[in-house]
Structure 1
Amino acid sequence: MKVLVTGATGFVGQHLIPQLLARGHTVTAVARNPSKARGFDWYEHVHFIACDIYQPRENVFQFFGLPDVVIHLAWEGLPNYKELFHFERNLFADYLFIKSLVEGGARHLLITGTCFEYGMRNGCLSEDMPSLPGNPYALAKDTLRKFVEVLPQKQDITFQWARLFYMYGNGQNQNSLIAQLDRAIDSGDPVFNMSGGEQLRDYLPVEDVATKLVNLMEHPQCTGIVNICSGEPISVRRLVEQHLAQRESHIRLNIGYYPYPDYEPMAFWGDAKKFSSITGER
């Protein structure tokens, strides 16, 4: 299939594209920075378009090569979850971009959402729960999903909303937990400051997230909200300890140095049954 990937050089996009290519798909990769894109091994094997997708243009769907599938990953300003620009600017820019693609003929949309759409809930989170977003980022994402669901062409579209849980791996934001830990290890720091670490979260390597997104795309009968998760909770402290063992590091953990984030519940993870029942993958 011909697949358009926005946010191609982002954390997920850079890992998604090699997997699409490996499965024989033709990829049009879109990002603003061609210099960054040239640094990836996949660059020579895709049709790369350097542009601002939010810039108004005629015939958007045709401009991007009439793809069979649109995988929309792009979203500005992360990980600043609390900033108002998520719904003051990003929401409407993304909606108009998606609307233009659909009006031009796009018929298969896979758009990434966030587990934060579930709000401040503890426990196992399943797709049939009502959304209760508690920060501007989650509110904007959840509203975008609802906007797309009421497009006049909705009945003719395969619409997959992939709710991403937590990820780690190469290319992650430098302020994320594992990236900070790696930096401390590489710098030879004797101590790593962290929270109490008792939070339960749902983590996957970003490569596994990319695999799940490709599998979801290849199963168009699986529509609506789909959790992209492991389905297995792990404490933040245990995740850190596992990473230290993998890195063979003896850095000392300063547990409880930071307070727990106020925009996350204490213990939550995804229900993976919907994804597994369709794709056969855990």
Structure 2
Amino acid sequence: MTQSERVLVTGAGGYIGRHVVDALVARGQEVTAVVRPGSAATINSEARVVEFDLLAPSADFSVLLEPAPTAVVHLAWEAGFAHNAPVHMQKLSDHFRFLEAATEAGVQRLAVLGSMHEIGFYEGMVSAETPTNPLSLYGIAKDALRKSSTLAFGDRVALQWLRAYYIFGDDRNNKSIFTKLLEAAADGKSEFPFTSGAARFDFIHVAELGRQIAAVASQAEVTGIINVGSGTSVSLGEQVEQFIRDNDLGIALQYGAFPDRPYDSREIYGDATVIRELMAKDAAGVQGTDQR
């Protein structure tokens, strides 16, 4: 475990954010959790909670960055499940402005949540060197934020780009297919319209993802693009059928009712070599070495 540091987490009231805060608190970090004004999210009581409109064009970041925390975990994003919502591009410059301000303020590490949707259509294992070709506004915005941040201040801060894949767990607090299955069961439905279910993805439980993100953000040696995920692929059909069994939902999937999304790969998963090594060293109380 690292010595206690001040860590600022944006998007702390979101689906992933609450688990990252929990993981950082468990590590003994001094956490400031930034949530949207009026947020009803339940945040770990050991974290300091600040309500702040991070993406407002007139936002004064000195409220959060003076004095500068040691690290920032930037998870805040709008409409993450609506991949072609215009807001992804409309807010892009606001994300950049915040990360630039954090760098200027003297933050030592920036851990920023990326997405497999930066890659676009791709078959097989994604490494840090895999070229990006995003096919949705969400993917384009994430990819642009990574590239612009790396170019503008990547040489002045330990920039950690956390490329996430498919996330499950805590399923009443997101907008995924798992949430929709729970809602369908609650409505008494016995069938659920589905895609072919054949595509294979890298699934990770949100609590484990939170631990991975916290481990990355708590050290400075591992930087650059870091795949946060399981490093294995499971078909969407298998994962959903298992979820139905685990939760005793009594729902049958109507395979083929919806077409597969044209920008989803038949199989895509992250190379988890770096995160596995980091987690192993972290568990042993040893800092990792530079794996940029």
CA contact (8 A) 2:11 2:35 kept: yes
After superposition, the Cα gap between the structure-2 partners of 1:79 and 1:256, relative to the gap in structure 1 and judged at 3 Å, is same
Show the counterpart of 1:232.
Answer: 232
Amino acid across the alignment from 2:34: V
The structure-2 alpha-carbon separation of the partners of 1:143 and 1:267, relative to structure 1 and needing over 3 Å to count, comes to: same
* TM-aligned CA deviation for residue 58 of structure 1: 4.9
The residue aligned with 2:34 is: 30
Given that 2:53 and 2:59 are in contact with CA atoms closer than 8 Å, whether structure 1 keeps it comes out as no
Residues 32-111 of structure 1: pairs in structure 2 closer than 5 A: 32-37=36-41, 39-40=42-43, 42=44, 44-55=45-56, 56-58=58-60, 60=62, 63=65, 65-87=67-89, 89-111=90-112
* Alignment partners' CA distance in 1, 2:112 and 2:82: 20
8 A contact 1:174–1:180 mirrored in 2: no
- Going from structure 1 to structure 2, the CA distance change for 1:229 and 1:174 (only over 3 Å counts) comes to closer
User: C-alpha displacement at 1:241, in angstroms?
Assistant: 1.3
Match of 1:191 in 2: 191
| Structure 2 SS opposite 1:28 | strand
Q: 1:150-201, CA deviations, whole angstroms, 9 ceiling, x for partnerless residues?
A: 22x5323111000010101225665411111112223331112111111111
Inter-partner Cα distance in structure 2 for 1:17 and 1:269: 26
2:27 partner amino acid: R
Residue aligning to 2:215: 215
Q: What is the one-letter code of the residue matched to 1:115? A: M
Change in Cα spacing, 1:170 to 1:253, as seen in structure 2 (3 Å) is: same
Cα displacement string for residues 246-281 of structure 1 (whole angstroms, at most 9, x for unaligned residues): 123332221111110122122211111122233327
Aligned-residue offset at 1:33: 3.6
Give the secondary structure class of the aligned counterpart of 2:204.
strand
1:123 match: 124
Q: Give, in whole Å, the separation in 2 of the partners of 1:52 and 1:84.
A: 19
Structure 1 residues 9-59: Cα deviation after superposition (integer angstroms, max 9, x where no partner): 00100111111111100110111144413x34x1x3221111111343556
Residue identity in the other structure for 1:127: A
TM-score, length of structure 2 as denominator length: 0.88
User: Sequence identity, in percent?
Assistant: 29
CA contact (8 A) 1:13 1:73 kept: yes
**TM-score normalised per structure 1:** 0.91
Amino acid corresponding to residue 185 of structure 2 in structure 1: I
CA-based RMSD of the aligned residues comes to: 2.0
Corresponding position of 1:5: 9
Unaligned runs of 5+ in 1: none
Deviation at 1:61, TM superposition (A): 7.0
Taking the aligned partners of 1:11 and 1:174, their CA distance within structure 2 comes to 6
Distance 1:161 1:172 in 2: 27
Partner of 1:20: 24
Q: Closer, same or farther in 2 for the Cα pair 1:63/1:34, shift >3 Å?
A: farther
> Take 2:272 and 2:147, find their aligned partners in 1: how far apart are those partners?
22
For 1:140-179, what aligned pairs fall within 5 Å after superposition? 140-151=141-152, 153-170=153-170, 175-179=175-179
| Farther off after superposition, 107-116 or 270-279 | 270-279
Pair 1:158–1:61, CA change in 2 (3 A): farther
**Which deviates further from its counterpart, 217-226 or 161-170?**
217-226
Is the Cα contact below 8 Å between 2:198 and 2:236 reproduced in 1? yes
Say how many residue pairs are matched: 277
